[in-house]
């Protein structure tokens, strides 16, 4: 299996597969297919509760598609965010905590689950949920704007606005803190931030989805009796 990322920053992931090879993608990620590829739609791995957690809390689809090459073939995949696509290698010793909504595709062996401890309401609030990628294989993520990688040595710290965070190594430690006081939060546009401490790798996006929504003048609340929130790229706004 080979891949290339086309047309940055409005990126498309092109995967070239030999007969019998498979890649799993988020529902709706397919752009094009060249050659003979079988498509199998299924629910995510794990029990019903685990699937519902990823769907309801992670902002991801309940279903995914497996694309299986019947001969030498290629497929184009992308996600909703307007920005870069990157590949992250997941190993048995190096999983990742990933922004929900950034997932595009993964090779067999990569498992997604809600990072239930530490990323529940009360840490990130009700707006922000993360996924946990474990196992072994390639993970492809899409984010708003460019994606920048920072490697942290033992004890090094990086403080990130939550709306810029894309992913970080599971082995790193983290804590969520408030940036500034009430006046700063209201007038300065700052709020919760994540402090990641190495060793590990951190990926962040150059654009802030909440600022993008504000720029477009989109209402941050849906007018429904149930009080549903608007969800953009994995962020629950409202």
Q: In this predicted model, what pLDDT tens digit does every residue of 198-222 receive, in sequence order?
A: 999 999 999 887 766 666 676 544 4
For residue 146, name the pLDDT band (cuts at 50, 70, 90): very high
Domains and CATH numbers, the chain: 2-228 (3.60.160.10)
The CA–CA distances, whole Å, from 185 to 64, 178, 182, 231 equal 38, 9, 5, 22
What SS3 class is residue 202? strand
Residues 37 and 94: beta-carbon distance below 8 Å? no
The CA–CA distances, whole Å, from 164 to 21, 48, 51, 102 equal 34, 31, 26, 12
For residue 220, is the peptide bond before it cis, meaning its omega torsion is within 30 degrees of 0? Answer: no
For residue 163, name the pLDDT band (cuts at 50, 70, 90): confident
pLDDT above 70 (res 122)? no
Task: Report how far apart the first and last C-alpha atoms of the chain are (Å, whole number).
Answer: 41
For residue 108, name the pLDDT band (cuts at 50, 70, 90): very high
Q: Phi-psi category of 234—alpha, beta or left, where left has phi over 0 and alpha has psi -120 to 50?
A: left
- 188 membership: H or E segment, kind and range: helix 182-188
Q: What is the DSSP letter of 181?
A: -
Q: What is the pTM of this model?
A: 0.78
The CA–CA distances, whole Å, from 225 to 55, 84, 169, 222 equal 22, 37, 40, 9
Q: Which two tokens stand for residue 69?
A: 């090459």
């Amino acid at each position: 299996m080979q891949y290339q990322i086309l047309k940055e920053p409005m990126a498309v992931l092109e995967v070239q597969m030999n007969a019998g090879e498979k890649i799993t993608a988020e529902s709706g990620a397919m752009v094009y297919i060249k050659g003979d590829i079988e498509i199998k739609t299924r629910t995510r791995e794990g029990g019903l509760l685990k699937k519902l957690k990823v769907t309801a809390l992670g902002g991801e689809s309940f279903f995914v598609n497996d694309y299986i090459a019947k001969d030498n073939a290629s497929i184009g995949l992308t996600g909703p965010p307007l920005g870069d696509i990157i590949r992250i290698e997941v190993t048995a010793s190096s999983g990742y905590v990933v922004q929900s909504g950034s997932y595009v595709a993964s090779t067999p062996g990569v498992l997604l689950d809600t990072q239930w401890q530490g990323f529940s309401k009360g840490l990130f609030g009700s707006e922000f949920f993360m996924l946990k990628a474990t196992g072994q294989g390639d993970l492809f993520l899409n984010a708003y704007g460019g994606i920048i990688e920072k490697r942290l040595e033992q004890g090094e710290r990086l403080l990130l606005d939550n709306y810029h965070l894309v992913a970080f190594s599971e082995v790193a430690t983290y804590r969520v803190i408030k940036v500034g006081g009430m006046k700063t939060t209201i007038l300065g546009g700052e709020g919760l931030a994540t402090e990641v401490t190495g060793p590990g790798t951190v990926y962040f996006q150059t654009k802030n989805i909440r600022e993008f929504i504000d720029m477009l003048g989109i209402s941050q609340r849906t007018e429904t009796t149930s009080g549903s929130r608007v969800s953009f790229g994995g962020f629950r706004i409202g």
